[in-house]
Structure 1
Amino acid sequence: MKFGDRIKERRTAQKMTLEQLAQATDSSKSYIWELENKNPPRPSAEKLSAIAKALDVTVDYLFGRDEQTLEQAEDKAFYRSYSGLPPETRRQLREMAKILGTKKPE
């Protein structure tokens, strides 16, 4: 899958419009459209990082440079967000994860 296809797939899966992704990444709607539809795209590192963050994946996932699954990319993006949280919030999330991990499936 190409870079632009991955952006579009993630954007539509999250029910984001071109305009919403553009706003989230401080880009123009036409710029996002070009990334999704032109080949080869030439985004800056700053824009790549912003797009990956807005779509809750990694830059590597968008480029398909490794064999990273979508789930693995989402986990890495979550950890990136988690790492930036205050210590008390991280502690609370760890406690919640323990509780959820011991819950029996219905």
Structure 2
Amino acid sequence: MTQPTFGKKIKELRTTKGLTLDQLATETGSSKSYIWELENKDPPRPSAEKLAAIAVALGVTTDYLIGREEVTIADAQDKAFFREYSKMPDDTREKIRAMAKLLGGKKE
């Protein structure tokens, strides 16, 4: 099975999140036409800064977007979440851990 192209990944993630081209452009400091070009031109040529902003907005890693990782979308989302989690204050991380235990059915 072939992996989706860079542009297809962006479009699929954007539409799954319910974002328009305009909304993703705004979130990433880009223009609507730039996002459209990334989704539709082959091969796209995004800057590292724009690529990072798009990955953050879509909740995945840059490696996932450019195809360096042979992982599922869920794995890429988990890695992106963990990066955000790692930057959170200690008390927030403790709350998230407690919530995860409750959701997972584990008791302390």
Query: Normalising TM by the smaller chain, what interval?
Result: over 0.9
Q: Which residue does the alignment assign to 2:25?
A: 22
- 1:44 Cα deviation from its structure 2 partner: 0.8
Letter in 1 for 2:12: E
Q: Which residue does the alignment assign to 1:56?
A: 59
Which residue, 69, 72, 86 being the options, matches 2:72? 69
- 1:26 Cα deviation from its structure 2 partner: 0.4
Unaligned runs of 5+ in 1: none
Unaligned runs of 5+ in 2: none
TM-score by length of 1: 0.93
Residue 95 (1) aligns with residue 89 (2): no
- 1:21 Cα deviation from its structure 2 partner: 0.2
Q: Percent identity?
A: 64
- 1:61 Cα deviation from its structure 2 partner: 1.1
Looking at structure 2, the residues matched to 64 and 9 of structure 1 have their Cα atoms a distance apart, in angstroms, of: 15
Give the aligned length: 103
Query: What is the alpha-carbon root mean square deviation over aligned residues?
Result: 1.0
Looking at structure 1, the residues matched to 88 and 45 of structure 2 have their Cα atoms a distance apart, in angstroms, of: 32
TM superposition outliers: structure 1 runs of 4+ over 4 Å: none
Which residue, 5, 12, 16 being the options, matches 1:13? 16
